Chains A and B, each alone.
Chain A
Amino acid sequence: MSVASPLGTVGILIRYWVKGRFTKATILGLIIGETFSVIFILFGSSTYLSFSNRVGLTTGLSEVAGSLVLALYLVGLIQSGFNGGGLPVSSSDVDYVFTSPVPPREVFAAKVLLNSLTTVLFGFPPIIVLYLRFSAYYHTPMTAAILAGLVTLVFLVIGLLLAADITLSLGRGIGERKKLWRNLFIVLVLVLSLLPITLLIPGIPVEIADVTRILPNGLAAIVSVGLVSGTPGGLDYLVDLLLLFAWLGGFLVLGVRMARGHFYELLEVSTPGGEKFDHPNQTSRLDPRGKSIWSIVRLKEKILISRTREARALFINAMFLSGFLVIYALSGSFQSSPTSFLFILFIIGSFGSGTASRWIEKERLWILKSSPVSMRRYVKEVYRARVAPLLFYLVPVTVAVGVPLVLGQLSSPSLLLGVVLALPGALEIAGITMAGGMWFASRYGQSSADDILSSQAQELADIRRFLFQTIINLIMVSPIILLVLVSEALAAIMGPATLPILAVALVLISIAFTGMSINVLLNRAGDAITRREDL
């Protein structure tokens, strides 16, 4: 029995969820997030276009790149779907919506509509900016960019429906064998998406590349890239669009059919402290015999990083970062000026603050605060444990970017000084921003329970913290940036003979400054924990 007409019920649910989701804080967060993503998109797309211009990439290869990027989005959603996260639910949904007489099919429809709405709202501005940048480059009309954006948004909604359908299908015997199915699915999507690469191999039939048009990501990439680049497609595009909408309709019908049954137990509610572990039993790696308190603290932190998959996430991010920077370097975007090196400083350096954002959980502070350990020292040891994997991943990235840069500047010693300062400077900035991130996390970090209990206050605190943290981090790292900026002038004043000594002296000064800054920030982090009263 439904409490209202099906459409009425779906409307009520969406209104209730929207009220819970779009608070003032989330709207402010959305604006800030969109601004940052637009800036990044402009940077990224300009880099890509310079790269493709310099290397001579065809639009065909851009379609492959687009198809692959969209395939990664699908892969993420496939994983989420198999983990029961295809239809995200909160505990209040379970308590109030699932126990209501609203038919499951209407709950499904409302969830899908709301998720699509959110995705479209979040995705539209950066996607349109991306395609406008491309259409400006290819001199195609603005309408082409808008159409391409809409096609991509349709694809994003298809992805959401796919994830929801996978979750709904778990009740039909797939559950036990889901890992195999998931991996098969992912491999299939990636292999089909990469098929156009065969165009590079002489003698391979061209038709093989078209197989990628079976998948929604291939279709969306071909139509979108084709529209913004002005590649004539005519009827082909129409067929591709029809196929894309067929995917959309197919997944929707499939989902609605499957949602007729009782599917609630298949959905995963994210609970505080309810992380999923692949192996519930583990051999102890924390043998305390003969070890100091502080080596145990570091070891504990390393174990947590590895078991909560932080290290894996860091590795994947570092891979993306190095890929991007290598493309950036190859695109010739680095001009012969120290200001261009700032880009390395910012991109690599900002990596630090992100990794520190959630290192502490307020709800576990009782363990530390009721023990006799010094909070300042504790924070420093945690920092040591956490900065090691960060540097482990960032050093190769820096070297990968640095070697061609150093080789390219050998004939110009005054610019070489800037490069020599910028490379360790990037790592130093990562170190400082990580310490800054830990300070702010110590001061404002909330527990996951708080996130759920008072999400609006939490989101506002997060936004304030993010802005404040960004400003403080920028102030803290400004001397390193300044050093890189004035390096060319300094080199000119001092003369080429003194350059090696000058370089060593400046690097040492920079390292000493970094050490002091990190020490100050970590002391503040320790003091912030000591003073916290909201426990």
Chain B
Amino acid sequence: MSCSSVFQKGSTNMVEISIENLTKHYGTLVALDDVSLKIASGEVFGLLGPNGAGKSTLLKTLVGILRPTTGTIRIGAIDIVADPEKAKKMIGYLPENPSLYTGLTTLEFLQFVGKIRGVPDDLLDREISELLKSFGLEEKRNSLVGTLSKGMKQKVALIATSLHNPQLLVLDEPLTALDPKTRVSVKDWIGGQTARGVTTILSTHDLDVAQTHAGRIAIIDHGKIVAVGDIESLRHMANTTSDARLEDVFLRLTEEKGEDPARR
């Protein structure tokens, strides 16, 4: 798939993110423990962590799906808890395993999502057509979503995420279980959004993607941020060599907890 114009549309209004002393408890389980982060406007911010570290909880809290136990999250000047509707207009969120309305056609699903995210009627059809073309899904516009392949569904979910031109993109494992061709499409799309200046938070297990796209990376483990910085500063924090791969840095920073019996 070519990286067409819609992936690199004009720049968007940038927004910075501020997370302060965020905690999230599920009963006695502490999923997030005093997390504080600042993400600059237009920045691509990577989030890495082992399974169950709290990445998805952090992202869901950030987009307003979960309510923080304590702490604040600001999208620009807007507090997500105090004014969730205003904040959500600025956010595009892609969950780890997006489930779509399988009984709607691709076009109907996107029209529905565009409408509930407040895309004006005169823009909606044009946006959908351009994005479907960009992702090579034009022929599937009248196909029921339930009949699409996994890769196609992921593309439809990505289109739904960006239909309303969000200022903040929150992507939870956008490349999981995709075939190489679709991975390239999605990486192109992320690159296009970055070029437009959209603030992007990218949770991924794919360290290459994090290293390629993210300016700074946070490593989260047991609900705590254990390190934040660009690759150089992470190498420094991990006491690794200056040419160490992100994988080695990640393992060094998370292994101090010693939770992976396979590595003992």
Residue with the greatest number of chain B CB neighbours at <10 A, chosen from A297, A304, A372: A372
Report Cα–Cα, A304/B102, bound state, in Å. 9
With a CB–CB cut-off of 8 A, which chain B residues contact A285? 108
Task: Answer yes or no: B65 CB below 8 A from chain A CBs.
Answer: yes
Q: Which of A93-143 contact B (CB under 8 A)?
A: none
Report Cα–Cα, A273/B95, bound state, in Å. 16
* Complex partner residue of A372 from B86, B99, B121, B143, CB under 8 angstroms: B86
Report Cα–Cα, A368/B108, bound state, in Å. 15
With a CB–CB cut-off of 8 A, which chain B residues contact A447? 99
With a CB–CB cut-off of 8 A, which chain A residues contact B91? 370
Stretch at the interface among A43-51, A61-69, A287-295: A287-295
Task: Answer yes or no: B117 CB below 8 A from chain A CBs.
Answer: yes
With a CB–CB cut-off of 8 A, which chain B residues contact A374? 85
Contacts A289-B121, A307-B144; is A372 near B104 (CB within 8 Å)? Answer: no
Chain A residue at smallest Cβ distance from B102: A273
Task: Answer yes or no: B194 CB below 8 A from chain A CBs.
Answer: no
Residue with the greatest number of chain A CB neighbours at <10 A, chosen from B67, B95, B111, B143: B111
Q: Which of A362-376 contact B (CB under 8 A)?
A: 363-374
- How many chain A residues sit at the interface, stated as a range, is 35 or more
Contact A297 B124 (CB under 8 A): no
Task: Answer yes or no: B242 CB below 8 A from chain A CBs.
Answer: no
Contacts A275-B103, A304-B101, A370-B64; is A288 near B114 (CB within 8 Å)? Answer: yes
Report Cα–Cα, A304/B111, bound state, in Å. 14
Report Cα–Cα, A296/B60, bound state, in Å. 26
With a CB–CB cut-off of 8 A, which chain B residues contact A369? 64-65
Instruction: Return A288 CB to nearest CB of chain B, in Å.
Output: 5
Contact B147 A280 (CB under 8 A): yes
* Complex partner residue of A364 from B66, B101, B141, B146, CB under 8 angstroms: B101
Per-position contact with A for B36-61: 1 when CB-CB < 8 Å, else 0? 00000000000000000000000010
Contact A535 B99 (CB under 8 A): no
Contact B93 A296 (CB under 8 A): no
With a CB–CB cut-off of 8 A, which chain A residues contact B103? 275, 277, 303-304, 307-308
Contact A293 B115 (CB under 8 A): yes
With a CB–CB cut-off of 8 A, which chain A residues contact B118? 293, 372
Q: Which of B95-148 contact A (CB under 8 A)?
A: 95, 97-105, 107-108, 111-118, 121, 124-125, 141-144, 146-147
Instruction: Return A300 CB to nearest CB of chain B, in Å.
Output: 5
Q: Which of A350-396 contact B (CB under 8 A)?
A: 361, 363-374
Instruction: Return A362 CB to nearest CB of chain B, in Å.
Output: 9
Contacts A284-B111, A285-B108, A300-B104; is A361 near B117 (CB within 8 Å)? Answer: no
- How many chain B residues sit at the interface, stated as a range, is 35 or more
With a CB–CB cut-off of 8 A, which chain A residues contact B63? 370
With a CB–CB cut-off of 8 A, which chain B residues contact A366? 65, 93, 95, 98-99
Instruction: Return B199 CB to nearest CB of chain A, in Å.
Output: 16
Task: Answer yes or no: A57 CB below 8 A from chain B CBs.
Answer: no
Task: Answer yes or no: A533 CB below 8 A from chain B CBs.
Answer: yes
Task: Answer yes or no: B84 CB below 8 A from chain A CBs.
Answer: yes
Contact A371 B117 (CB under 8 A): yes
With a CB–CB cut-off of 8 A, which chain B residues contact A5? none
Contacts A273-B99, A286-B104, A289-B121; is A535 near B143 (CB within 8 Å)? Answer: no
Report Cα–Cα, A291/B160, bound state, in Å. 19
With a CB–CB cut-off of 8 A, which chain A residues contact B107? 284, 286
Task: Answer yes or no: A283 CB below 8 A from chain B CBs.
Answer: yes
Contact A296 B116 (CB under 8 A): yes
Contact A370 B144 (CB under 8 A): no
Task: Answer yes or no: B89 CB below 8 A from chain A CBs.
Answer: yes
Task: Answer yes or no: A173 CB below 8 A from chain B CBs.
Answer: no
Report Cα–Cα, A303/B101, bound state, in Å. 11
Report Cα–Cα, A509/B112, bound state, in Å. 38
Task: Answer yes or no: B88 CB below 8 A from chain A CBs.
Answer: yes
Task: Answer yes or no: A234 CB below 8 A from chain B CBs.
Answer: no
Contact A284 B105 (CB under 8 A): yes
With a CB–CB cut-off of 8 A, which chain A residues contact B124? 288
Instruction: Return B90 CB to nearest CB of chain A, in Å.
Output: 9
Chain B residue at smallest Cβ distance from A290: B121
Task: Answer yes or no: A274 CB below 8 A from chain B CBs.
Answer: yes
Instruction: Return A333 CB to nearest CB of chain B, in Å.
Output: 40
Contact A370 B65 (CB under 8 A): yes
Report Cα–Cα, A285/B142, bound state, in Å. 10
Contacts A284-B142, A300-B101, A374-B85; is A533 near B66 (CB within 8 Å)? Answer: yes
Contact B101 A370 (CB under 8 A): no
Report Cα–Cα, A281/B65, bound state, in Å. 33
Instruction: Return B105 CB to nearest CB of chain A, in Å.
Output: 5
* Complex partner residue of A277 from B84, B85, B146, CB under 8 angstroms: B146
Chain A residue at smallest Cβ distance from B148: A280
Q: Which of A294-322 contact B (CB under 8 A)?
A: 296-297, 300, 303-304, 307-308
Instruction: Return B139 CB to nearest CB of chain A, in Å.
Output: 10
Report Cα–Cα, A296/B118, bound state, in Å. 12
With a CB–CB cut-off of 8 A, which chain B residues contact A92? none
Contact A277 B147 (CB under 8 A): yes
With a CB–CB cut-off of 8 A, which chain B residues contact A365? 65
Contact A361 B99 (CB under 8 A): yes
With a CB–CB cut-off of 8 A, which chain B residues contact A280? 143-144, 147
Per-position contact with A for B200-228: 1 when CB-CB < 8 Å, else 0? 00000000000000000000000000000
With a CB–CB cut-off of 8 A, which chain A residues contact B108? 284-286, 300, 303
Q: Which 10 A/B pairs are nearest by Cβ-Cβ distance?
A: A363-B99, A372-B85, A286-B108, A280-B147, A307-B103, A370-B93, A372-B88, A296-B115, A369-B65, A304-B103
Q: Could you list 20 further interchain pairs (A-B, Cβ under 8 angstroms) beyond the known A280-B147, A282-B105, A535-B60?
A: A273-B146, A274-B146, A281-B142, A281-B143, A282-B144, A283-B142, A287-B111, A293-B118, A300-B101, A300-B104, A300-B112, A304-B101, A307-B103, A307-B144, A308-B103, A363-B97, A367-B116, A370-B63, A370-B91, A535-B65
21 contacts between A and B (CB under 8 A): A274-B146, A275-B102, A277-B103, A277-B144, A277-B147, A282-B105, A284-B111, A287-B111, A288-B124, A289-B121, A293-B115, A296-B112, A300-B112, A367-B101, A367-B113, A369-B65, A370-B63, A371-B117, A372-B89, A447-B99, A531-B67
Q: Which positions in B face A, CB cutoff 8 Å?
A: 26, 60, 63-67, 84-86, 88-89, 91, 93, 95, 97-105, 107-108, 111-118, 121, 124-125, 141-144, 146-147, 160
Q: Which positions in A face B, CB cutoff 8 Å?
A: 273-275, 277, 280-291, 293, 296-297, 300, 303-304, 307-308, 361, 363-374, 447, 531, 533, 535
